Amino acid sequence: MSDAHVRTVVPPYLLNALAERGAQKFPRAAVAARSNLVASAKVRELRAKGLLASPDADDSSATARTRSAQAGATGPNRQIHDAQNKEDLPGVLVRSEGDAPTEDTAVNEAYDGLGASYALFAEAFDRNSLDGQGGPLIASVHYGKDYDNAFWDGRLLVFGDGDGEVFEGFTGSVSIIGHELSHGVITHTADLEYFDQSGALNEHCADVFGALTEQHAAGQNAEDATWLIGAGIFTEAVTGKALRSMIAPGTAYDDDVLGKDPQPDSMDGFVTTESDNGGVHLNSGIPNRAFALAATTVGGPAWETVGQVWYGVLTGPEITSKTGFSEFADLTIAEAAEQFGEGSDVHDAVVEGWQTVGVATSASERGNRGSSW
């Protein structure tokens, strides 16, 4: 990995709002949010000082030996652990590939969600697991106490149970499981630097394949999908439907404690900030909308059309770890022309998607006349 940031699905600005304003309405959740933020800050400090090993470093562990032994295998190899509400990872192995369901709902949800994500990448993109070589899919559930997040740490997925006041358990959302697993695919491909625009693209690509995981599992066409990330993750006490909306950024929630979803839906609202690693969870709304608009314009299963374009760019030779919005947009337009033909429905929808959200591209600079990709 090019950096040591943990990839979380709940953005820090949402946890900050909960910690600052939630004490009266959501006392348990406010305490959980403060604890989460303190723990995250401590991890960042230790890693900055070089006092915390990279998640990939423990090659002597049983997990690493299993990874090596399974490399090249076909079919999913899921390993679900129970962290037992502690913060020692991965915890106790409680369900392996082929095992019958347990009595633990979170274990079974994680197992099924990992399977749905594996199926998307295998069936739609001919990719064998995160590394493309059949590596195991490792997850831990019941992490920490009232832990309000899920994250990818470079080797495994980790899910909290939520606090019960604001957040439900994080294994209940297939889009969240797909999002976090997709961070693993990104790590093994473009490894987009987790800062500023490249970091927003990292979050964006995870949202894309998280949404596609949910749609693929349901056999759902783009025009019929909700394009929500984390639908149902809030309790009924929260005025909100999800963490993010790809089709309409800025509309996922509007709550008296959490505030209004701050994601911009175009470059006119691009947020310049030093927090959230340069706004990676904020500005990801811009490319999110471009993708969702393109996919719904084309219609049908998005993983067969615009999803193919995005995957081709993510795994292609021209993307770099520092690629920004305009360069990424140009790459998708070129890829759409390569795969589907210049002037095809897919190509034109991709161009229009980027134009709608105000991301400058080579095509827009030429007035979209006589472009040759």
Question: Would you please indicate which residues are annotated as catalytic (active-site) residues?
Answer: 180, 281
Evaluate whether 181 touches 111 at the Cβ level (below 8 Å).
Answer: no
Rg, C-alpha atoms of the chain: 20
Q: Which residue has the tokens 């095809």?
A: 344
The strand pairing partners of 140, in sequence order, are 81, 158
Which residues lie below 8 Å from residue 100, measured CB to CB, with a gap of 6+?
none
Backbone torsion region of residue 191, taken as left when φ is above 0, otherwise alpha when ψ lies between -120 and 50, otherwise beta: left
Evaluate whether 173 touches 230 at the Cβ level (below 8 Å).
Answer: yes
Amino acid (1-letter code) at residue 186: I
**C-alpha distance from residue 285 to each of 58, 146, 213 (Å):** 35, 28, 18
Evaluate whether 221 touches 299 at the Cβ level (below 8 Å).
Answer: yes
**C-alpha distance from residue 60 to each of 63, 64, 65, 68, 129 (Å):** 8, 7, 7, 11, 22
